């Protein structure tokens, strides 16, 4: 992972609103959430949320997929794990690939 990308990702997460958004998506798991649902949970004006989402997407921490008129947002777990490993200086320690996958 490149230093610059890591810095941009960390900066992206270093904002209260964006961090809330990202954590909400991490909790939501692989199914993700529509932008509208995110807006209700995080409680910010739509335009503001959109700006923040754009940034998270641009840095590769969030992915969007269109389903008709709604846009589904998902946390990019691989990117998150790469970022964590980077902070750790490459000490991998068997993180699971996705959201808290309990059991088997």
Partner DNA sequence: CCGCTAATTCGAGTTCCATGGAATTACCAT
Partner DNA sequence: ATGGTAATTCCATGGAACTCGAATTAGCGG
Minimum CB–partner distance for residue 69 and a copy of itself (Å): 30
Q: Which parts of this chain interact with DNA (CB under 7 A)?
A: 15-18, 34-36, 39, 44-55, 64, 66, 68-71
3-class DSSP assignment, residue 34 = strand
User: Among DNA, a copy of itself, none, what binds residue 51 when CB lies within 5 to 8 Å by partner kind?
Assistant: DNA
- Contacting residue, 1, 11, 36, 51, with a copy of itself by CB under 8 A: 11
As separate numbers, helices (DSSP H) first and strands (DSSP E) second, the chain gives 5, 3
CB of residue 10 to a copy of itself, shortest distance in Å = 4
Residues 50-89 that bind a copy of itself (CB under 8 A): 80, 83-84, 87-89
As a whole number of angstroms, the distance between CA 7 and CA 61 comes to 12
Q: Which of 31, 69, 94, 97 binds a copy of itself (CB under 8 A)?
A: 94
Using CB under 8 A as the binding rule, whether residue 27 contacts a copy of itself is answered as yes
> Phi first, then psi: what are they for 11, rounded to 5°?
-65, -40
Q: Which two tokens stand for residue 61?
A: 């921490």
CA separation (Å) from 45 to 30, 38, 48, 51? 25, 11, 5, 10
């Amino acid at each position: 992972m490149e230093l610059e990308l890591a810095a941009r990702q960390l900066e992206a997460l270093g904002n209260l609103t964006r961090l809330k958004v990202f954590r909400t998506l991490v909790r939501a798991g692989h199914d993700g959430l529509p932008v509208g649902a995110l807006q209700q949970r995080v409680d910010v004006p739509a335009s503001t949320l959109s700006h923040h989402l754009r940034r998270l997407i641009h840095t590769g921490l969030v992915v969007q997929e269109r389903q008709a008129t709604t846009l589904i947002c998902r946390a990019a777990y691989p990117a998150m794990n790469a970022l964590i490993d980077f902070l750790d200086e490459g000490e991998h320690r068997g993180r699971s690939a996705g959201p808290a996958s309990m059991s088997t």
